[in-house]
Amino acid sequence: MNYIELFFRYLENEKELSLNTLDSYKRDIRQFESYINEHNLKIEEVTKTFIITYLIHMQKSGKATSTISRNLASIRCLYQFMYNSRFIESDPSSNLESPKVEKKLPSVLTKKEVELLLEQPKPSDAKGARDKAMLELLYATGIRVSELISLQLNDLDLKGGFIRCSVSDNKSRTIPIGNIALKYLKLYISDYRKLLNHSEEETSLFLNFHGSKMTRQGFWKIIKYYTAKAKINKVITPHTLRHSFAVHLIENGADLQSIQEMLGHSDISTTQIYSKINKNRIMEVYNKTHPRA
């Protein structure tokens, strides 16, 4: 009986997988099958030790930890199918831990690079004022680009200097804006938003030239345009300003819990990665400047 073909049929017919995910499963299992065949084994004869040996083989071949983890997930899925279908009496992949995927440290800008980027939009017309307000607000609050473009006029408290960011229908967080971002927000709203707005019913804060809510793609183009104009030799995404916001707060002594709340992280372990970036920077400065480093 060809268990692998039965497994593929099961994935195709009973699991609602995207074509890419399905192809990924098939590729992982075909590679595993080749390794089994090289050792003159049958798929149902595989042991836990053999799977561990295969994972070590992948590691020695230079495969990334994320690739090894994904392969183990595919193998687990195969053996769970075989066990549930009673093709095997025990699952050799049970209780095998995935190798920990080390989180890549996000790219951040220096304070000088942030200043250079934020200096590019000139608030002398509707486009410049809107772009200046968007970039200043993104760096001042660390909100996600999806949250930025979803802001409504009634999410602002200009008098108090806060924005309300809605994460879901019943969950939101309040974030201070900061004087500079507040200044350019007020300018955009009082003098320029009306030039972009074609409908009294439109309540989105940031509008494009069609009078509609700014899109993610539209904002991506804005970031790329001003990055090129500032001649910053880094790949800058909307998320880069969010990362920079967090790291610069830590550098100036902010506590992780406050940053977690402002960023809207449900788990503080997600926020802790910014501490790691700061430690790396401190070490870099120390090694460059200390006479006995």
In sequence order, the 6+-apart residues with CB closer than 8 A to the CB of 43 are: 3, 4, 33, 36, 78, 82
Angle between helices 126-141 and 111-118 (to 10 degrees): 160
Q: Which domains can be identified in the chain, with CATH numbers?
A: 3-84 (1.10.150.130), 111-288 (1.10.443.10)
Angstrom distance (rounded) from CA 265 to CA 225: 29
Q: What is the pLDDT of residue 290?
A: 42
Lowest mean pLDDT among 98-102, 126-130, 176-180, 218-222: 98-102
Rounded CA separation 73/97 (Å): 10
Structure tokens at 293: 């480093």
Greatest mean pLDDT among 71-80, 95-104, 251-260:
71-80
| pLDDT at res. 267 | 61
Q: Which has more pLDDT, 274 or 181?
A: 181
Between 262 and 152, residue with greater pLDDT: 152
pLDDT-derived band at 144 (thresholds 50, 70, 90) equals confident
Nearest alpha carbon to residue 206 among 135, 118, 286, 115 = 135
Q: Average per-residue pLDDT in the chain?
A: 85
- CA distance linking residue 132 with residue 117, whole number of Å: 10
